[in-house]
Amino acid sequence: MEPSEQKGGGPKERFEVVLAGSGGQGLIVSAMLLCESAIREGRNVVQTQSYGIAARGGLSIAELIIDTEEIIFQQVQKPDIILALTGQAMERFAAFAEKGARVFFDTTGMTDRPGLNFLGFPFTKLAGDLNRTNAATLIALGAMVACTGMVRMDSLISAVRETFPEAAPANIEALGLGEGLVASRLREGAG
C-alpha cells in the first residue's frame, strides 16, 4: 500500500479519481476539496459530477482529474482511485480493481472483498463514533490521500481549514483518523 508511482519510478503525476456513494454524503464537496488541494500545489484539475433525480439518497458520483500537464479531455476514462461508499457504488465500480484501480470502500455497510486493490475501512462506523455521521467522507479522504499521495495532506488540511473555518478542527480530526487507518494497516502488514 505504497503511494502511487508512475512507470519508470518517481511520483505519479496524473490521477483520475471517482468518488461514488449516496447523495448527501459530501462526495461533491470532497472532490472540490481535493481539487483545491491540487491547485494549491500548482497542478491542473478538472471536476465533474452527476447524481440521480432524487439527489439525497440516490447514486451520486464526483469525478476529478489531477495532472501536472494540461488536461485536454475532461472526463475520467481510466480511474486509478475510486471511493465506493455504498453497495450500489461498489457494484458499479468494483471491476476497475481488476484493471489496477485502488478501490477504497466502507466496510460498515459492505462485506470485505478479497484482492490487492480493494481497501476497506469502517468509515461510517468511525464517523458515528465521533458523533458526526457526515464525517465519513472526510475520514475516507484522509485514508485515500495517505495511501496514494494524490495530494499532500498539508494541502488538504489547508483547503479544509479555509473552506470550513468554523468546523476546521473537527474536520481535520476526521482527516487524521483516515490517515491513521492507513498507518495502522501498514504496521499490520509489516508485522
pLDDT at 53: 54
Model confidence pLDDT, tens digit, residues 65-87: 999 999 988 889 999 999 999 99
d(CA 69, CA 146): 23
pLDDT band, very low/low/confident/very high, at 133 (cuts 50, 70, 90): confident
pLDDT at 147: 94
pLDDT at 6: 46
pLDDT band, very low/low/confident/very high, at 116 (cuts 50, 70, 90): confident
Mean pLDDT in residue range 139-149: 96
Mean pLDDT in residue range 135-154: 96
pLDDT band, very low/low/confident/very high, at 102 (cuts 50, 70, 90): very high
Its pTM stands at 0.88
H/E segment holding residue 185: helix 168-190
Q: How far is CA 111 from the centre of its chain?
A: 19
Model confidence pLDDT, tens digit, residues 22-70: 888 889 999 999 999 999 999 999 999 876 554 556 788 999 999 999 9
Cβ partners under 8 Å of residue 74, min gap 6 = 46, 48, 65
Q: If you ran DSSP here, which 8-state letter would residue 114 be given?
A: -
d(CA 114, CA 96): 14
Q: What CATH architecture is 15-190?
A: 3-Layer(aba) Sandwich (3.40)
d(CA 132, CA 96): 30
- The four Cα atoms 161, 165, 168, 170 give a dihedral, to 10 degrees, of -170
pLDDT at 50: 79
d(CA 129, CA 95): 31
d(CA 87, CA 98): 18
pLDDT at 8 over 90: no
pLDDT at 149 over 90: yes
pLDDT at 184: 87
- Residue tagged 474536520 (cell numbers): 171
pLDDT at 55: 53
- Please, are residues 178 and 104 in contact by the beta-carbon 8 Å criterion? no
User: What percentage of the chain has pLDDT greater than the value 70?
Assistant: 89
Model confidence pLDDT, tens digit, residues 170-187: 999 999 999 999 988 877
Average pLDDT, the chain: 89
